[in-house]
């Protein structure tokens, strides 16, 4: 099938692509017996051909992060992806960075998915994923510029809305209501410690989200995150940080325009883990993303505007930027994009041209 079945433009997902991924990478109501090797054992499912994909990105940039220099940032990303059904109702997905910014980053997304448990719309994911995936997926954005508030961590805290390890439950109602619940380690993708465990404290953190589709063009939602973290459980002189993160989001999708808005409030009671003098810090931020595709999923041209805003009691986290991105699909799976971002906080502009392909 053509890439535009699921993407518009790649890697951004259309509703059908979201449904395909949410169904365990299985085409709904379509059987594919050739998918498995015939072994004569009804209790064994062996995938005949391991599904693999590659994504490559390279850029030419000028004044990136106020460096005052031009740079050939290529390859910027080389990523190997695989995902599919292991057996009925059980799927997997992972990707491995051969290189990210010149280093082998390793696994980021990597999880098992149990789909449609108990004959219902309940799905369970276990492994590594982005906490913010039920909101807006960073890996699927069209801009070089990131969703800054998702990456923001305060002080020495390891907690933000990017990658973590844990369990995610999702349930969708016929009314268009979706409910997501996550139980997380709360310390990102750090390596296992001396106890051979990934969680570096005795706490588990909680994330919840509810969203509602209104007609075919509007979705509103809200989320909340609560957790505790200890910087070093073997050090009695370190305090504990308790925090919450919450905010609403909105998507308006009326061709040829899509508007995504996210607002986030965050409160940390002790992000520097002081034992005797904890100081509370508040942080807030938002982003707005406007995507224009003149001919819908048939568009060769597209443009994206992105505004980021972060404001914190810890002033070094303050960030304001505006980005404009213009892209053209040379092929369905090969696009060229030019981007300019002005950083209002640092009072500088940065520009780049990128080549992005996947196959």
DSSP letters spanning 112-160:
EEEEEETTTTEEEEEEEEETTTTT--GGG-SSSS--HHHH---TT----
- Maximal C-alpha separation, the chain: 67
Q: Write down how long the chain is.
A: 359
- Please give the pLDDT value at position 34: 61
**Global confidence as pTM:** 0.94
- Please give the pLDDT value at position 31: 54
Burial grade of 316 (CB within 10 A; 0-12, 13-18, 19 or more)? exposed
- Please give the pLDDT value at position 33: 56
Q: Which domains does the chain have, with CATH numbers?
A: 60-74+108-358 (2.40.160.10)
Instruction: Provide block-wise average pLDDT over 10 residues at a time, the chain (359 residues).
Output: 92 91 82 73 87 96 95 96 92 95 93 94 97 96 97 97 98 96 96 89 96 96 97 76 98 97 98 94 98 95 98 98 98 97 98 97
| Residue among 49, 51, 107, 98 at smallest CA distance from 75 | 98
- Please give the pLDDT value at position 47: 86
**Distance between CA 154 and CA 238 in Å, rounded?**
16
- Please give the pLDDT value at position 46: 87
- Please give the pLDDT value at position 29: 65
């Amino acid at each position: 099938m053509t890439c535009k079945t699921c993407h518009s433009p790649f890697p951004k997902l259309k509703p059908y692509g979201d449904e395909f991924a949410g169904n365990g990478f299985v085409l709904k109501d379509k059987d594919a017996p050739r998918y498995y090797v015939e072994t004569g054992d009804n209790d064994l499912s062996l995938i005949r051909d391991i599904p693999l994909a590659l994504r490559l990105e390279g850029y030419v940039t000028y004044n990136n992060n106020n460096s005052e220099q031009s740079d050939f940032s290529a390859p910027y990303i080389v990523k190997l992806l695989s995902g599919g059904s292991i057996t009925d109702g059980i799927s997997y997905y992972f990707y491995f960075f051969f290189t990210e910014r010149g280093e082998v980053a390793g696994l980021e997304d990597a999880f098992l998915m149990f789909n449609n448990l108990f004959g219902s719309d309940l799905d369970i994911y276990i492994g590594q994923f982005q906490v913010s995936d039920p909101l807006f997926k960073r890996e699927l954005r069209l801009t070089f510029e990131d969703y800054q508030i998702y990456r923001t961590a305060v002080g020495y805290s390891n907690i933000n809305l990017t990658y973590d390890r844990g369990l995610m439950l999702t349930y969708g109602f016929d009314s268009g209501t979706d409910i997501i619940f996550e139980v997380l380690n709360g310390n990102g993708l750090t390596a296992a410690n001396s106890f051979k465990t990934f969680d570096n404290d005795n706490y588990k953190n909680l994330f919840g989200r509810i969203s509602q589709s209104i007609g075919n063009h509007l979705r509103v939602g809200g989320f909340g995150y609560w957790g505790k973290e200890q910087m070093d459980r073997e050090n009695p002189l370190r305090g504990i940080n308790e925090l919450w993160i919450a905010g609403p989001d909105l998507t308006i999708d009326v061709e040829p325009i899509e508007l995504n808005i996210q607002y986030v409030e965050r409160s940390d009671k002790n992000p520097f883990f002081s034992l005797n003098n904890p100081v509370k810090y508040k942080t807030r931020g938002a982003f707005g993303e406007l995507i224009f595709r003149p001919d819908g999923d048939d568009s060769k041209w597209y443009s994206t505007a992105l505004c980021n805003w972060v404001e914190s009691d810890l002033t070094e986290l303050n960030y304001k930027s505006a980005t404009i991105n213009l892209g053209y699909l040379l092929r369905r799976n090969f696009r060229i994009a030019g981007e300019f971002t002005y950083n209002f906080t640092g009072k500088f502009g940065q520009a780049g041209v990128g080549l992005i392909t996947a196959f």
